[in-house]
């Protein structure tokens, strides 16, 4: 209820969502484009600023900018040769059949007017990218829905760059989804109800009595909403946001959607089928900018470290905890610190002065904070598995910046 009532007092909610003040919109957009290019062209690249741009209203605005900024957010050097494999992966890969089935059925992911021939070519590329990443990273396991993520990158940045970006993403943000089992994915889903509980206990209790579970949000989480949103512009806007933030941000965004639909949920019959059915049908006209901003607020207000205990308790309630914590350790052991990212950590500290004047503005404060938190992940926590980091992730760095 808090979220609903707060909706009215956000003057920003419609500005980028097709608001009436066209001139104002264009002016702001131009200004933002200029700021993004300034951050791109500064030496070294001002990644912290790019993160703020990706999070703040409108995100990265268009695909030309995304092609330049997404690699920066993932610390990919676009001059490096793309990964390749000389092997015939379609013959060798144990996942080929499943990938083929899923990609063939993913027609809806491609722009409606695209000629069949072009789409089929892209589908072939999609299969190649997935098989290549799986071959290069034997610790990663394919899941249905992974193809929904890869296709988004393919459509925005093309095959060559998509391979590099998705490979990085798969070993970081998506790492937990790609375990041999989905136990860690389930654990991340366990953050959903505690977040809802913090904001709206009544809604939380209703959903608990309905025993709706959290599977309605599974495809949202593991495809970054690519599977459920039909407008590609909304998908890439969310990808801007998620790429700039902590890997658990998609679950905060999922919670925000549920909270936004509070009235509908409470008016629904209190049983698993009704609530699951209602929630799994995601409305296509969500006020994305408002919800993104709220998800960011919630993340700052209730960071994962604070929710970890409750999320773990949910896990225990489901009697699957025993092995899971060992799995976390195992998963984190598979990750390696990234020296380049560490070097960039120094860069961020230098940029601290630059961000200070922005901090005085309350609205921007949050974006800076989020951007820094996102960067913290890229620097430190990314060296750990997400779940591990979610359990132990004390935002020390953030506390230094924001005492």
Partner 1 sequence: MASEMESSLEASFMSSGAVSGASGFLPPARSRIFKIIVIGDSNVGKTCLTYRFCAGRFPDRTEATIGVDFRERAVEIDGERIKIQLWDTAGQERFRKSMVQHYYRNVHAVVFVYDMTNMASFHSLPSWIEECKQHLLANDIPRILVGNKCDLRSAIQVPTDLAQKFADTHSMPLFETSAKNPNDNDHVEAIFMTLAHKLKSHKPLMLSQPPDNGIILKPEPKPAMTCWC
How far apart are the C-alpha atoms of 51 and 49, rounded to whole Å? 5
319-326 long-range contacts, Cβ below 8 Å, gap at least 24? 320/183, 320/186, 323/183, 324/183, 324/184, 324/187
Count the Cβ atoms, other than its own, within 10 Å of residue 107: 12
Residues 303/377, Cβ–Cβ less than 8 Å? no
Q: Which of residues 183-242 bind partner 1 (CB under 8 A)?
A: 183, 185-186, 211, 213, 215-216, 218-219, 222-223, 227-228, 230
User: Locate tokens 């977040």: which residue?
Assistant: 195
Tokens of 211: 């025993």
Q: Considering the complex, state which of residue 282 and residue 298 has its C-beta at the smaller distance from partner 1.
A: 282
In DSSP notation, 310-364 reads HHHHHHHHTT-HHHHHHHHHHHHHT----HHHHHHHHHHHHTHHHHHHHHTSHHH
CA–CA separation, 345 vs 316, rounded Å?
36
Contact between 182 and partner 1 by CB under 8 A: the answer reads yes
Per-residue mark of binding to partner 1, 296-335 (x: CB under 8 A)? ------------------------x---------------
Q: Which of 108, 112, 322, 326 binds partner 1 (CB under 8 A)?
A: 108
Question: Least distance to partner 1 from the beta carbon of 91, Å?
Answer: 17
CB distance 289 to 13 below 8 Å: yes
- Whether the upstream peptide bond of residue 44 has omega within 30° of 0, thus cis, is yes
272 binds partner 1 per the rule CB under 8 A: yes
Least gap, CB of 162 to partner 1 (angstroms): 20
Q: Is the Cβ of residue 181 or residue 334 nearer to partner 1 in the bound state? A: 181
Q: Interacting stretch for partner 1, rule CB under 8 A, among 110-118, 179-187, 298-306, 354-362?
A: 179-187
- Tell which residue, 82, 85, 97, 68, has the closest CA to residue 138: 85
Interface residue with partner 1, options 84, 107, 313, 333 (CB under 8 A): 107
Q: Which is nearer to partner 1, 230 or 301 (CB)?
A: 230
For 43, 134, 195, 389, 394, the CA distances from 306, given in Å and listed in that order, are: 37, 34, 10, 12, 9
Nearest approach, Cβ of residue 273 and partner 1 (Å): 5
Residue 281 interacts with partner 1 (CB under 8 A)?
Answer: yes
Nearer of residues 2 and 215 to partner 1, judged by Cβ:
215
**270 binding partner 1? (CB under 8 A):** no
**Residue ranges that bind partner 1, judged by CB under 8 A:** 98, 101-102, 105-108, 141, 143-145, 147, 180-183, 185-186, 211, 213, 215-216, 218-219, 222-223, 227-228, 230, 272-273, 276-277, 280-282, 284, 320
């Amino acid at each position: 209820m808090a979220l609903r009532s707060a909706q009215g007092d956000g003057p920003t909610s419609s500005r980028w969502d097709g608001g009436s003040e066209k001139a104002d919109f264009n002016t702001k957009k131009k200004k933002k484009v200029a700021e993004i290019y300034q951050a791109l062209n500064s030496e070294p690249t001002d990644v912290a600023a790019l993160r703020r741009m990706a999070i703040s209203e409108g995100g990265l605005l268009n695909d030309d900018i995304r092609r330049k900024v997404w690699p920066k957010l993932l610390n990919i050097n676009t001059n490096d040769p793309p990964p390749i494999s000389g092997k015939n992966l379609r013959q060798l890969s144990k996942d080929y059949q499943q990938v083929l089935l899923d990609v063939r059925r993913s027609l809806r992911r491609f722009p409606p007017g695209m000629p069949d021939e072009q789409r089929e070519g892209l589908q072939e590329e999609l299969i190649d990218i997935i098989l290549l990443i799986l071959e290069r990273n034997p610790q990663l396991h394919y899941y249905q829905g992974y193809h929904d993520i890869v296709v988004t990158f393919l459509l925005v940045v093309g095959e060559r760059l998509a391979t590099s970006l998705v490979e990085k993403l798969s070993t970081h943000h998506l790492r937990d989804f790609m375990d041999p089992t989905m136990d860690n994915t389930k654990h991340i889903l366990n953050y959903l109800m505690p977040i809802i509980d913090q904001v709206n206990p009544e809604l939380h209790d209703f959903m608990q009595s309905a025993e709706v579970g959290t599977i309605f949000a599974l495809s949202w989480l593991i495809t970054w909403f690519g599977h459920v949103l039909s407008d590609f512009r909304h998908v890439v806007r969310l990808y801007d946001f998620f790429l700039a933030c902590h890997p658990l941000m998609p679950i905060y965004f999922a919670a925000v959607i549920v909270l936004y639909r509070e009235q509908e949920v409470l008016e629904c019959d209190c049983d698993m089928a009704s609530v699951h059915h209602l929630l799994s049908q995601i409305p296509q006209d969500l006020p994305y900018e408002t919800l993104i901003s709220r998800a960011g607020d919630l993340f700052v207000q209730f960071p994962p470290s604070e929710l970890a205990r409750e999320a773990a308790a949910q896990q225990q309630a489901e009697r699957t905890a025993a092995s899971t914590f060992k799995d976390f350790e195992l998963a984190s052991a598979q990750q390696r610190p990234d020296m380049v990212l560490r070097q960039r950590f120094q860069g961020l500290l230098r940029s601290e002065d630059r961000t200070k004047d922005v901090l005085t503005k309350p609205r921007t404060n949050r974006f800076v904070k989020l951007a820094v938190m996102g960067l913290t992940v890229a620097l430190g926590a990314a060296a750990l598995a997400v779940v591990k980091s979610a359990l132990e992730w004390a935002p020390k760095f953030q506390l230094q910046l924001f005492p």
